[in-house]
Amino acid sequence: MAEREDTNPRWVKDFILTWLNRFGCFLAHHLTRPILPLYLVSFGASSTVIGAVMAIFTVTATIARVPIGLMIDRLGRKPFLLYGVVLFAAGNLGYLWAPSILLVIPFRILHGIGWSGCTTAVATLAADIAPQKRRGELIGYAGMASSLGGAIGPIAGFALLHRFHFTGVFLGAVSLLFISLLLGGTLPEPARSYRNKERTGRWLEAVIIRETLLPAITVGFLSFGHGGILTFLPIHALKIGLENPGIWFTVYAGCLLLSRPIAGPLSDRISRRAVIIPGLILNLLGMCLLAAAPSPAWLIAAAIVAGLGTGAAQPALMTVAVDETTPQRRGQSMAQYQCFYDLGIGIGSLILGALLDLVGQNFAIMYLAAAGIAGWGLWLYMVKGKRG
């Protein structure tokens, strides 16, 4: 099927529906994401255990993305969007019923499978809908749905926690997912064949898309530090006097929102690389600021710098992953990209949690370790990324 033309007015409605569905999913996710470590603390979990339980979700999502990406290209986008939302909601309900850390784990797995399905499908739909000439801009706008969810979710999650305890947080997320399910039902399946006609005799080439491996690996280095931030920053923020850690996540996500409408069009008009490299540098500087932060004000400064950097680099890297693949393998390419993003978060959460216990809860060392990994990713893309 030919790429969608900018002159076709129908894509605008489809894009808005996709955006709203994505916003609901990410809002539900960020409502509970910073609360879960505190929920596990209520069971008496150590940093290592918290990191491991949080990592189970991302590792599950990572493993699930490869077969989901293959099936999305063969069977269609919409079924995986809808069933993914259902499993996502079931996982959140399960947290309420789990009486121990051990019984939280099966619901983390269910949550991870659902998250993998709905986010891969909705990202692929957005890429399908976007006209080629505005792809960088519109993928940036699509990413704003997740950023806005990240801005509102944490602060709303802590507000629900203070008023309705953990029960209110998880039920709030399930309610949002129900709305996303209804919105997802109104989305049209793109009128195209998803059967992948590109055949290869090697199973590895059928699973891995080499042309888009570099942006996927780079976003994995970027997200490694995010695994530590998402898991342990709420604990760190409370220790140094930030009473509602959701404020940090709101500022961070707000800066993501500010940078994406600027970075997306720039990546279309100049180059993807011209946006990715400065974004990766700002993300690295944000990690260093977190390591040096003695007060809430420094934490907020780090949120601003890292948010601007990530907001520029992440959608531009995703656009490269779309640019360098065919429509027939677009679902696989999106799955591969998000697989590395999830893997970075999962490994970061696990390793940085163990590191925290090893260094006596010294958060500065944890953030510097994350900065080192971010620097490695920056170097890799500077050396290997396409120029121009």
DSSP characters over 285-299: HHHHHHHH--SHHHH
Contact present, 143 and 314 (Cβ < 8 Å): yes
> Looking at per-residue confidence, does 78 or 221 come out higher?
221
Q: If you ran DSSP here, which 8-state letter would residue 201 be given?
A: S
Model confidence at 18: pLDDT above 90: no
- What is the distance of C-alpha 325 from the center of its chain? 21
Report d(CA 240, CA 51) in Å as an integer. Answer: 21
Report d(CA 157, CA 165) in Å as an integer. Answer: 10
With the C-alpha atoms ordered 320, 309, 58, 174, is the resulting torsion angle positive or negative? Answer: negative
Mean pLDDT of all residues in 353-360: 87
Buried b (16+ CB within 10 A) or exposed e, 357-386: eeeeeebebbbebbbebbbebbeebeeebe
Report d(CA 386, CA 265) in Å as an integer. Answer: 18
Q: What is the dihedral of CA 259, 262, 263, 264, to 10 degrees?
A: 120
Model confidence at 369: pLDDT above 90: yes
User: Taking the domain 10-190+202-384, which CATH number applies?
Assistant: 1.20.1250.20
Q: Using 50, 70 and 90 to split pLDDT, how confident is the model at 367?
A: very high
Report d(CA 336, CA 341) in Å as an integer. Answer: 9
Question: Quick one: pLDDT at residue 135?
Answer: 67
Contact present, 217 and 336 (Cβ < 8 Å): no
Q: Quick one: tokens of 7?
A: 């002159």
Question: Quick one: pLDDT at residue 200?
Answer: 47
Contacts of 168 (CB under 8 A, 6+ apart): 160, 161
- Looking at the chain, the number of H-run helices and the number of E-run strands are 13, 0
Model confidence at 197: pLDDT above 70: no
pTM metric for this prediction: 0.70
Mean pLDDT across the chain, nearest whole number?
Answer: 82
Helix spans in 130-212 (H): 135-186, 203-207
